[in-house]
Structure 1
């Protein structure tokens, strides 16, 4: 840990209190349930470019009894009025009531659906679970207006996910395209509940036909530690810039993609969700042993910063 003299500490604190402009020091999370403003939030764990600073452009802290519906929707991009069913052949259909806010966090709850709902999107064409999702997509796919999108910046979520085989959390980004043509995808984190030591971080490009992976195998998180991340709250982030995409866990850079020619240069949306027994989990043999089990993905905050 760095030791600063008193003058440097005062100057650093003044900068953070003024505008949450980052110095590159990851620090510790000082945003609490009673004091969660941009002025007291930890800045991105990477220094801004020379002559620039970080500016907070999106924030949801889940401090009340509901999330801000002008910022987030409980459905995926292709909601035509019935919200969204699984998009990876999982068991879940997404329902607005599965997003519950209280105690300073949002809870994305996956629980059995009774009675099950026939649906060609779900595993074996029937949804047996209902789960929660939050995104900055269009609240209605009949509209072209996204609730929030951005081009380049640092985005971060602080979450606590369940270490139960079959429950799978994902925090990711897709281009804003009303025709559902997603030429790229940034997976900030994908975590299988049956293997909470591994955090998969991926960038898919060229029509999502090619991919850069920070980690490919079990026991590998790039430059980040391999440990059980489900044991406590964890900060997952990505710095997406014109010349690189870098992934972070708790302020530590895990890996970086640097082929500027392949980096997405258009606006993107945010998605955070928990699936149940999706196709990846089935391939890994990481499925629910108890089909009556309930689990929750807790979300402390979502934030996006840009350099100005």
Structure 2
């Protein structure tokens, strides 16, 4: 009887601990990471990721657990994209959250005057920050004419510059990531600095894409490795986050017969940190 009772107590303790861990969910300013019962591989990764890592303190995040995208963190685009001669209509219907991931879905369909629909979300007026680290873990869509991006813009009206492109990929080159900084010079002319990184096929697995943004420089990282550093024309105003998949346009060009639809831009998490370690 005593041995059986001890087993019962042990099971009870384990159950309580598991329940506590599953409830440690942040509403915005993170206190710690957590373990979800549903997605073991994803959850262990979250649980092992520290709040303060190499001097970076987690201040905002979305782990995309739950059934719906959090409207207190994200705005949904709902318009026919007009820049760069793109071909998609952004609709909230193409932004979903399931199985622990955000999914931006791109479709070939007649939709409000366009031949394609896609998804885009951003944090304008909900969350912005001045200097810090922004990181996303994602598996990217692929194919001719598909153009996923993760970027930042100033949190104010009627402007998109300066712009920090943390990650851009043209879908017919799924092993090439572009990292770009855009700004206006004193004459009001668009200027850009960029670098590309050739690696694995970024559409077949999840990878991390991040920038470390300080008053002195911007450092781009892919899977934790430094891939580009820029120390001039550094933005000095609060910026917000933007995730989207464009279709067609001046750079990627239109989809063709080889492009498969639907395409999915799957995001495991987005996290933002402030540097607390000094010296940057």
Category of TM-score, reference length = shorter chain: 0.7 to 0.9
Deviation at 1:84, TM superposition (A): 2.4
* Structure 1 gap segments, 5+ residues each: 1-17, 21-30, 48-52, 76-82, 119-126, 138-145, 216-220
1:85 aligns with 2:64: no
CA 1:166–1:89 in structure 2 vs 1: closer, same or farther (change >3 Å)? same
Q: What value does the CA root-mean-square deviation take over the aligned residues?
A: 2.6
1:112 alignment partner in structure 2: 108
Aligned to 1:154: 133
SS at match of 2:252: helix
Count of residues in correspondence between the two structures: 238
How many Å apart are 1:181 and its aligned residue? 2.1
- CA shift, 1:129, in A, is 1.1
State TM-score, norm by structure 2.
0.77
Return the match for 2:192 from 194, 211, 220.
Answer: 211
Cα distance between partner residues in 1 of 2:260 and 2:206: 25
Query: CA 1:61/1:103 → structure 2, altered by over 3 Å: closer, same or farther?
Result: same
Match of 2:163 in 1: 185
* Kept in 2: contact 1:167–1:288 (CA 8 A): no
Q: Within 1, Cα distance between the matches of 2:199 and 2:182? A: 23
- Does 1:237 pair with 2:237? no
**CA distance in 1: counterparts of 2:227 and 2:50, whole angstroms:** 19
* Structure whose residues are more often strand by fraction: 2
Residues 113 and 156 of structure 1: is their aligned pair in 2 closer, same or farther, counting only changes over 3 Å?
Answer: same
> 1:153–1:56: structure 2 CA closer, same or farther, 3 Å change rule?
same
1:44 CA displacement:
8.4
- The answer to whether the 8 Å contact 2:154/2:160 transfers is yes
User: Which has the greater radius of gyration?
Assistant: 2
In structure 2, the residue matched to 1:196 is 174
Using the size of structure 1 for normalisation, the TM-score is: 0.71
